[in-house]
Amino acid sequence: MGEDMAAEKFRAQFTKMLEPLVSKLEFVNPNHLTWSTLALALGAAWLYINAGRDSEGGWMLLGAIGLMALASLFDALDGQIARAHGKASDYGDFLDHTIDRVVDIILLVAIGLSSAWIGDEIWLGYSAALLTLMGSYMGTQAQSVGLGRNYGGFGRADRLVVIMLATIVAAIQSFRGMGDFATIDLPTGTLAINPLSAVLLISAAGGAYTFLVRFFASRKGLLARLNASLGGDTEG
């Protein structure tokens, strides 16, 4: 509860910081900004896939952070511009949430396809993307049954912060020629533990955690509503 309140407070402060800029962007189509986040994510994905563990790779990783930061800014601005200048629409909201999910998949799969950092264990990126989508699905599913969208658990903002911080560490390792933290032998091969593989492990665990948090919160809300309508105790 405290973490949710802190996150909401930060969002409110960040929104207020952007207001002077938003007031001057009446000419901007918010949907174009939304599509731009996809293009920026594709650029970041290419950098992740091709970044080696040398100085050039370090610069590529820093470039990926820059593109992600710009995409995050555009993602924050599109909705604010739409609301501030009377351009909000159901299509815009639909597009924003859809592109967010696509960007999540692109980034996690791209990190998983980085042979320099992940090796042959490409299943890790796909697993992280799948579990992340499951968590997001449970949030929208709650909304579809009239409970309101559920943002509990390991959210998108949390994941982006982890990715950016880990990428900074990976870039430093690249510049300094540092190796992996450790390796783990798996039935599928050897998994190197480094900042980017850690991102995928955290995202996978976070996705599963988010799914469970949102499922049980939705279950509680639905049972409470059913109980109220029947006038008795209902369990399930």
The Cα 121–Cα 21 span in angstroms is 43
What is the C-alpha to C-alpha distance for residues 137 and 104, in angstroms, rounded to an integer?
13
Burial 49-85 (b: 16+ CB within 10 A, else e): bbbebeeebbebbbbbbebbeebbebbbbbbbbbebe
Identify the pLDDT of residue 143: 78
- pLDDT per residue over 111-162, tens digit each? 999 999 999 999 999 999 999 999 988 888 877 887 777 778 888 888 999 9
Q: Where are the alpha helices (DSSP H) in 24-146?
A: 30-50, 55-84, 90-112, 123-144
Beta strand ranges found along the chain (DSSP E): 182-186, 189-193
pTM: 0.89
Most confident of the following: 42-56, 133-147, 206-220: 42-56
* Domain 2-230 belongs in CATH node 2.170.190.11: no
Comparing 30-39, 82-91, 151-160, the range with the smallest average pLDDT is 151-160
pLDDT tens-digit readout, 167-199:
999 999 999 999 999 999 988 888 999 999 999
Query: Which pLDDT score, from 0 to 100, does residue 140 have?
Result: 83
Between 223 and 170, residue with greater pLDDT = 170
Mean of per-residue pLDDT scores for the chain = 89
Q: Is the pLDDT of residue 61 over 70?
A: yes
CB-based contact 153:214 (threshold 8 Å): yes
Q: What does residue 125 show for φ and ψ, rounded to 5 degrees?
A: -65, -45
Cα–Cα distance for residue pair 234/204, rounded to 1 Å: 33
Supply the pLDDT for residue 67: 97
Amino acid letter, 70: L
Give yes or no for a contact between 150 and 143, defined as CB atoms under 8 angstroms apart: yes
Element (H, E) at 19: helix 2-23
The residue whose two tokens read 């909705």 is 79
Length of the chain: 236
Q: ∠ at Cα 217 (212, 223), nearest 5°?
A: 125
CA–CA dist 62, 175 (Å, integer):
11
Tell me the pLDDT band of 6, cut-offs 50, 70 and 90: very low
> What pLDDT, on a 0 to 100 scale, did the predictor assign at position 12?
65
Amino acid at 42: L
Of the pLDDT bands very low, low, confident and very high (cuts 50, 70, 90), residue 234 is low
CA distances from 212 to 104, 111, 122, 208, 215 (A): 19, 25, 25, 6, 5
Q: Which residues pair with 183 in a beta bridge?
A: 192
Q: Where are the domains of the chain?
A: 2-230
Q: How many Å separate Cα 93 from the centre of its chain?
A: 17
